[in-house]
Amino acid sequence: MAAAIKISRERAERVNKALIATFFTQAMVTMAIIIRIPEIIDNLGLSKNLAIWGTITGLSGIGSMLALIFAHRLVVRFGTTRIVQVGTLAATAIQGMLPLIHNYWLYFVVTFFQAVVFSLYNNAANGQALMVQKRLKRVILGSIHGAWSLGVGVASIISGILASFLPLELHMGIIASVGFVAHLFLNAQMMNREEEKLSQIKTKTEKKVSWLKTPGIIWLLALGLFMGIWPELVMGDWMSLYSKNVMQLSASLIAIPFTAFALAMIVGRFATGWVSTKMHVNRAAMFGGYFGGVAMTLGLLASHFLLPINQLLAVSVQAVFFFIAGLGESIMVPAFYSAASHVRSIPSTQALARMGMANSLLFILAKGVMGTLADTVGLTLAMLFPILAFFGSGYLQGLVGRKADKLEAQNLENYPPTGTIPVQVVKE
C-alpha cells in the first residue's frame, strides 16, 4: 500500500524545476574544466607521465563506489535535500580549487573526496526526483538527465570562449563561484524534511536490506544501467580519437560525429516525459537499445565505405546515424532508474546506491577492457563493445518488462509494464 502523498502538484512541479536547474548547474561546473585538462596535467608535472594521470583519475572514482555503501544510511538520517545541499556546494567549491593544486598526490586525495560527495548528492538528487516523479505520475528523470547533457554542451561552449583569454585559475574560479551562488538559491527550493517523509512510497521493507538479501532484479537493473550508459561514455572518451586516428578527419570535422550524438541525447531526454505518455518508458528503452545498436553500426560502416569517396559525405552520413543512436541512448538511464524505484522490497535510495556501486565497478573493469582492445585489435573493432552494450541494454529492458507483466498478472506488480507510472494517491 502506498503512503498518502500530501504535497500539492504545484509544489512538486517547483521541486522538479529546481532539480532540473541543479543538474544543469552541476554539469556546467563539473565539465567546465574538461577543455583545460592539459593545463591541469602540466600543473601536476605529469605531461610526460600520463600513466600516473590515468591511474589517479581512475582510482579517484573508487570514492564514488565507497560513498554508495553509506548513501542510504545518510539519506535516512538527514534526508535527500540535506545531502544534495552539502554535496553540491562541496563539489562545486572543490572544482574551483583544482587549478591551485600542483602535487598529484594531493590532487588524488582531493578528487577522491570530490567523488565521494558527488556520488552522495547524485544518489540523493535522483532519489528525490523519483519521489516527485511518482507524485506527478509522469517520467521526469529524462528531463532532469537531459538538463545534465545540456549543461555539458553549454559548458564546452562557454569554457572554450573563456579559455581563450582567461588564465585557468580565474576561469574555474568564476565558474565555481557562479555555480556556488546558483546552488544556494536552488537548494532552498527543494523538499523540506517533512515533505520528504510525506512523499515516500512505503515498501514492505522500510528498514535497510542487507547486501545478501538484495533482490535479484536490482543486480539485473545494475547490469542494464551499465550497458545503457556505456555507449555514451565511449562516445565521449573515444570518438574524437576514432575520428582523428581512424577516419583521419580534419580538425574542423573531428567533433561532428560526437556532437550529433550529444545533441540527440539532449533532445531525447527532454522528450522522455512525452514519450512515456505514448508507451511505457521500459518499452521505449527496449526499442532505443535495439535501434541505437543498429544505428551506431550503420554509422561506423557508412564512414568506412564513404571515406574513400568524400570525407564530408562520410561524416555527414555518420552524423545522421549517430543522431539516431543518441536518441536511443537518451532514454536508457531514466528507464532503469524508474524501474528501480518500483521494486517494492527495497527502499528506492538503497536500490539506486547498490545499482550505482555495481555500475561503478563494472565501469572500472570496462574501461580497462576498452583500452586493451584498442591497443590489441584496434579502435575500429573495439567500437563493437558499445554496440553490443546497446543491444544488451535493449534486451534487458525487454526482460524487465516481461517480469513486470508476469508479476502484474499475479497481482504482485512491482514495475508497471504499460502506460505512465501509476501511484496510489489520496484526495488532497
**Is the pLDDT reported for residue 204 higher than 60?**
no
- For 329, the domain range is 205-420
Instruction: Name, in order, each residue with C-beta under 8 angstroms of 105's C-beta and a sequence gap of 6 or more.
Output: none
Question: What's the rounded mean pLDDT across residues 227-249?
Answer: 78
pTM beyond cutoff 0.95: no
Q: Does residue 217 share a domain with residue 161?
A: no
Is 428 among the domain residues? Answer: no
Question: What pLDDT is attached to residue 304?
Answer: 85
Which of 168, 202, 236 is the last residue in one of the domains?
202
Let me know whether 211 and 108 are in one domain: no
175: helix, coil or strand?
helix
**pLDDT digit string (tens) for 133-185?**
878 877 787 788 889 888 887 887 788 788 878 898 999 999 999 999 999 99
- For residue 284, pLDDT over 50 is answered with yes
Q: How confident is the model at residue 323 (pLDDT cuts 50, 70, 90)?
A: very high
pLDDT at 46 over 60: yes
User: Does the pLDDT of residue 422 top 70, yes or no?
Assistant: no
Domain with 246 in it: what CATH number? 1.20.1250.20
CB 40 within 8 A of CB 98: yes
Please list, in sequence order, all residues whose beta carbon lies within 8 angstroms of the beta carbon of residue 398, skipping any fewer than 6 positions away: 286
Rg (CA), the chain: 21
Q: Are residues 283 and 405 in the same domain?
A: yes
- Beta strands, E only, 219-360: none
Coil, strand or helix at 189:
coil
The rounded distance, in Å, linking the Cα atoms of 58 and 228 is: 20
Identify the pLDDT of residue 51.
67
Domain end residue (candidates: 202, 229, 254): 202
Please check whether residues 226 and 324 belong to one and the same domain.
yes
**How deeply is 137 buried, as exposed, middle or buried, from its count of CB atoms within 10 A (0-12, 13-18, 19+)?**
middle
One domain for residues 155 and 232: no
Instruction: Compute the average pLDDT of residues 311-316.
Output: 87
